[in-house]
Amino acid sequence: MWNPSKKIRTIASKILIVLFSFTMIFHLIALFQFIPYKYLWGGRLSSVEEMYLMETVSLVVNTFFLWASFQYTQYLNKGLVPLWIRLVFAFIGIIFLANTIGNLVAVTDLETLLATPVTAVLSGICFSLVPKYEN
């Protein structure tokens, strides 16, 4: 089984921190309606109220993902990444894999073209953090 080095894991967790930070900024921009809601969530939102709910949930979830990424980096620096944080990243990887599939069948081309590669990369990076690591 593939077992990435500490350097690769450090780079991966830092990439996640950057991507989750940018994702949160995107969701804030959407929440403040700088992006019309009809272009969000695969073009399946039917009202501004629904957009507020979904974007708020997205911000909460992305805040958790960002926190988990910081936690992973801290544990990695201590030389031991516990099972619970690796399971969190397995779960996050599954979420992004499912999201990638959802983006492929999105109603809007924007979602398909922009979000699909991002979620696919996020899924791959998350799965790279799952194998056991002990220094």
Domain residue ranges in the chain: 6-128
For 134, counting Cβ atoms within 10 Å of its Cβ (0-12 exposed, 13-18 middle, 19+ buried), the class is exposed
pLDDT tens sequence across 71-110: 999 999 898 899 999 999 999 999 999 999 988 887 777 7
Is the separation of the CB atoms in 20 and 130 below 8 Å? Answer: no
4-44 pLDDT per residue, tens: 888 999 999 999 999 999 999 999 999 999 988 887 877 78
Of residues 69 and 114, more confidently modeled = 69
